[in-house]
Chain A
Amino acid sequence: MITYALIFAISCFSVALLFNLYRVVHAPGVTDRVLALDTMAINAIGLLVLFGIWEGTAIFFEASILYAMTGFVATVAYAKFLLRGDIIE
């Protein structure tokens, strides 16, 4: 039963990543692009954790926490650049 739920969740997150990719390519404004990249990082965390359950190993935990941190910093840096034209003033 867990296997079917895992397959369902993995396919959901994969389709979500495709939606995000579409939004990155066809974005009406530049903030939408930043938002889509942020959501991509969050969905990648979900996929990594699901793959960790699939393989039965906790080794992907470190990768997902790295994704969480760099994704957040990247989003804030993008938004800061849009706001001020500079990141570290």
Chain B
Amino acid sequence: MSFLTQFRPQFWKAGESSSGPFRQMFNYRSIWQKAILLVSMATLLPLLIITAVDYNYTEKSIESENILRTLRNGSNIRRTISAFLQERRSALTFIAKDNNPEQLYKAVHLQGVLNNLQESFSGFVDLGVINQEGKQVSYVGPYSLEGKDYSNQEWFREMERQNFAISDVFLGYRNSPHFVVEAKQSLADGSFLVLRSAIDIVELQDLLHGLELSGRADAFLINRQGIIQTPTLYHGDVFARLPYKVPPFSDRTEIREELNQDGEKVFVCSAYIPLSPYILVIVKDKGELMKPWRDTRIGLIWFLVVSVTVILLVVFGFTTYMVNSMYLLDQRRLATLHKMEYSNKLASIGRLAAGVAHEVNNPLAIINEKAGLIKDIFTYSKPLQALGQEGQNLDATITRQLDSILSSVERCGKITKRLLNFARHMDSTIETIDLTAIVREVLSFLHKEAEYRNITVNVDIASDIPPFKSDRGKLQQIFLNIINNAFAAMDKGGRLDIHVKTLGAAGVSATITDNGCGIAEADIGKIFEPFFSTKTKQGGTGLGLSITYGLLLELGGKVNVSSKVGEGTSFIITLPLEPPATTTEK
């Protein structure tokens, strides 16, 4: 907390300490809060909105780019696989049409055809010819399947209705995953024969796995029941079930988003391969696909965080600086107003005093002369001498009364002269100063109060004080204010010490020490601030010391304060031998 208070700007407590007619013009705290809120909003909102829009837009565009690429992949692979199957089918059709049944039934001939076939096309494992009854009439290949009866197998029955067929992948008699391609050839006698060839799925597998796909892609075929037909990378072996829903039929490449077994998002791209039982499936890991986006995103978020921090810091710092400047200006304005009022007041008091003194001085002079004349008459002509002893006594009595009148007049004269002096030094002029006289003069204004309150005043002025130049009127005010404050701090029987000594070329120093109530340590730093007062309730304006401080600055002087609560306070005033040039501009 104390760490924070160090950074608390000066205006923070402004609202609490100001009261009375000289209030602050604004509530600085609320201005500060509003300014920070508004400026932050005005700068941060557009930034946040733009960042959010950009974030979404970038995410969407990267996602759609990935979707498009996957779809393009899917449609390409579909075409490749479709072409592969088409090729195999056309080859068989061509063989069926190019050879008459007699040739085909002969194993030797068939072997020659298979050899040609294998040389021209990859993947053909064997070749068999099945007659209308479903019996494999002839067969060439690695297995001995001749004479095998397919008549009650479903695919054979299907053949009665169509010209071609491609089977699902199965193990069959060969016990190795393969599929078969069949082509029907109608014969002149109305019957038909079927050319049947097994194709190893290795061929398809090579096609599928030879693709360079991004995003942990897995491309494979399934049949329409969702049984996996070709080996996969991440989705189990052949004949396993596809962990996702089988896509509904569509003659276009489709893509959709699904959750995999681990609950991660994946893109499932599917395409029905025409004239086959297969559906091409490409599964891509969305997280993997969006990886470049993640990097961009982290960059974006960092940028946002840094921007927001910098903006907030700038807004905070600048607002604080501005509001504080406003506050300080306002304070200065108030202090100037006060000072003007104060000096106006002093000036009018001065004029009044001078006027009164002048008016009183003339009648006083008359009293002085009249009484003096009466005394002269008694002194020079001695009119009562004739009355003898009684006359002498009367003469002495009258002379005593006259002396009393004259001394009273002298006292009055001193008072009016002091008033005139005070008024005369209202105007700012630099002159050679006799500090002793000033201190005595100031004390003469206060000695009655000192007597009433039984305050002892000790004045100790060193004899070697050099004559120095300063403003007499300002010095009077400075001493008057500080000594007045000291008096206010003391109870009955207090003790005030005024000690003046020379500092050589550095100037003159005056120490004014009282044994009054002292100043709390927390307040010492503030006593010269305008409007700081511990006596606001008793009518203090909190300006006395601030004006004193201002006057001292004008004279090029300094003031130091040391105080202990309950023990007393010391003001140490240092005055230069020559005031700074600016004060003489008047």
A binds B: no
Instruction: Please list the residues of chain A having a beta carbon within 8 angstroms of any beta carbon in chain B.
Output: none
Instruction: Please list the residues of chain B having a beta carbon within 8 angstroms of any beta carbon in chain A.
Output: none
